[in-house]
Structure 1
Amino acid sequence: MSMEIRMIGTGSAFAKKYFNNNALVKCNGYTLMIDFGITAPLAMYHMGLPLDCIDGVFVTHLHADHIGGFEELMLRLKFNYGKKPSLFIEEGLIAPLWNCSLKGGLEFGAEGRQTLDDFFHVVPLTVGKPCEIVPGFRLEIVPTRHFLDMPSYALILNDYLFYSGDTVFDPQLLQAVHERGCSHMLHDCQLDGHGLVHATLPDLLTLPEPIQRKTWLMHYGDNMEAFVGKTGPMVFIRQHQSYSFEPPART
């Protein structure tokens, strides 16, 4: 089934020109937000999108540019809109998300002590077990290596679109994703500096050309425009624009 992706931001953690790298994915009438960072509420305001358009949220990992907007999202959906979305999250991240990132600002409320379940229908995810959100819309999580021992996860959507989250350069993972038939690959890209926690552009340019032709670059710095035309067959995905992705033709 086809999907529409609209990046509410495409920037790296410290970008100022571009918002945090977070995405809205629409499929079969369902709107999934991938991450919701510090700048996400402002980005959606600039796009004229109300927060209650979100039906569910997926968390790749617990850095602030990926979860920093959760407090506003949760409070406004619960108390302004009366909506309880689904939270799709790897099972081992559920407790740290609440206890280490959200509890201090959200546990105490007008209705007494609250928990994560008061704000979300929590859907635990397990590596190797795809989850069908609604008929025709599936997600599968894939572990990535990002920051020290912090768990982080990429997504494969409907078996044909790969969304890296944050990861160091991992050519074996990308080759495996390519070989399983993913026709579109959205990948974070550090444009300069050392690739300690992200794949760098020089790293990605070493990938086989068939993989590069599938690759859309995201999570980049404010100097992105200086690199246009220097990315080989890969292209930058732009914030606020809508992209339609169709499943590959099967032979």
Structure 2
Amino acid sequence: MEIIPLGVGGAFTTTNYHNNYIIHLNEKYLLIDAGSTLRFSLREAGYHYTDIDAVFISHLHFDHVGGLEEMIMQRFWQFKDGQHSPLKTTIIVHEKLLTPLKRLLCHGLANQGRTVEDFCEFICLKEKEIYKIEDYSFTIFDTSNTHAEGLLSFGFKLASLHANIVFTSDVKRLKEANILGHVDDNTVAIFQDVSFTFNGVHATLEEVLDYYPNEYHSKLYAMHYNDNIEEFRDKIVLANINIVKKGEFLHF
């Protein structure tokens, strides 16, 4: 699989775009979250909304869902030879997030006689239910209340026959989220949000290193980090973790 980091920054980033990704799986392109900066980051990476085959939404903070409606609308209002040729947007969500997401989208989409379903096709997954994308297995795990109290949130595991990645999305209380429960001998990368200063809703570097056993540190890929990350370069080297960088493709 090839992973394209469209952005790696936190909600208030001014330099790194929101923490959104494209995962290239054989002939399919899976978008991970659709934050408000998507309209810029997608184009900068050389992609268009119509290139995306499906989008996974982890939770409803604006840096993860703020650009979704525009994406849906741009795909729907396509014209070929003067004829309306709409493209529905396939959205993958945990079953718990389906109703809140539809409620959010209906304010902009459910008008002029149309419903949200006219624009979207939802793939609604239960806990541990496997969804196949090409030769890969996609499963969602529940991290609700471990990012922000009272907030529904979800990570995922993406696996081929011999390797998998774990994507935490946003997590503060790692032990409660039980991220390690989804890591196994075939895990080649753990995409973990990391804050390099105190943060009430994101795990700090110290919390991340304390949670994961030493043998997993080299598999950690820090994302959703502070704009001033260069100030912590020495700490990062000492920690023996990887830093995901905007626009630098990863291959697993």
**So what's the TM-score if we normalise by structure 2?**
0.89
Contact 2:35 2:68 survives alignment (8 Å): yes
- State the distance in 2 between where 1:175 and 1:75 align: 38
Q: Residue 198 of structure 1 is aligned with which of 202, 205, 212?
A: 202
Matched residue, 1:48: 46
Which residue identity lines up with residue 140 of structure 1 in the other structure?
Answer: T
Coordinate RMSD, CA, aligned: 1.6
Matched residue, 1:148: 149
- State the distance in 1 between where 2:114 and 2:205 align: 43
Contact 2:166 2:183 survives alignment (8 Å): no
How does 1:74-223 map onto structure 2 within 5 Å? 74-80=72-78, 82-99=86-103, 101-108=104-111, 112-134=112-134, 136-144=135-143, 145-158=146-159, 160-171=164-175, 173-179=178-184, 181-194=186-199, 196-206=200-210, 207-223=212-228
- State the distance in 1 between where 2:88 and 2:127 align: 25
Which residue identity lines up with residue 155 of structure 1 in the other structure?
Answer: F
Matched residue, 2:243: 236
**Compared CA separation, residues 66 and 234, structure 1 to 2 (3 A):** same
* SS of residue in 1 equivalent to 2:198: coil
Which residue identity lines up with residue 192 of structure 2 in the other structure?
Answer: H
| Aligned-residue identity in percent | 28
Which residue identity lines up with residue 192 of structure 1 in the other structure?
Answer: T
**Compared CA separation, residues 229 and 29, structure 1 to 2 (3 A):** farther
Contact 1:155 1:162 survives alignment (8 Å): yes
Contact 2:7 2:18 survives alignment (8 Å): yes
Matched residue, 1:11: 9
- Structure 1, 171-180 or 24-33: larger mean CA deviation: 171-180
After TM superposition, give the deviation of residue 197 of structure 1 in Å.
1.3
The structure whose RCO (Cα within 8 Å, separation 6+) is larger is 1
* SS of residue in 2 equivalent to 1:147: coil
After TM superposition, give the deviation of residue 180 of structure 1 in Å.
5.6
Which residue identity lines up with residue 132 of structure 1 in the other structure?
Answer: K
**Compared CA separation, residues 95 and 178, structure 1 to 2 (3 A):** closer
Gaps of 5+ in 2: 80-85
Matched residue, 1:70: 68
* SS of residue in 2 equivalent to 1:227: helix
**Displaced runs of 4+ in structure 1, greater than 4 A?**
none
Contact 1:89 1:124 survives alignment (8 Å): yes
- State the distance in 1 between where 2:45 and 2:116 align: 28
Contact 1:178 1:211 survives alignment (8 Å): no
Per-residue deviation, residues 40-97 of structure 1 (Å, max 9, x unmatched) = 1111122231111100000001111000001110110000263223111111211211
Which residue identity lines up with residue 24 of structure 1 in the other structure?
Answer: I
Number of residue pairs the alignment of both structures matches: 237
* SS of residue in 2 equivalent to 1:9: coil
Contact 1:7 1:23 survives alignment (8 Å): yes
- State the distance in 1 between where 2:241 and 2:75 align: 37
Contact 2:25 2:133 survives alignment (8 Å): no
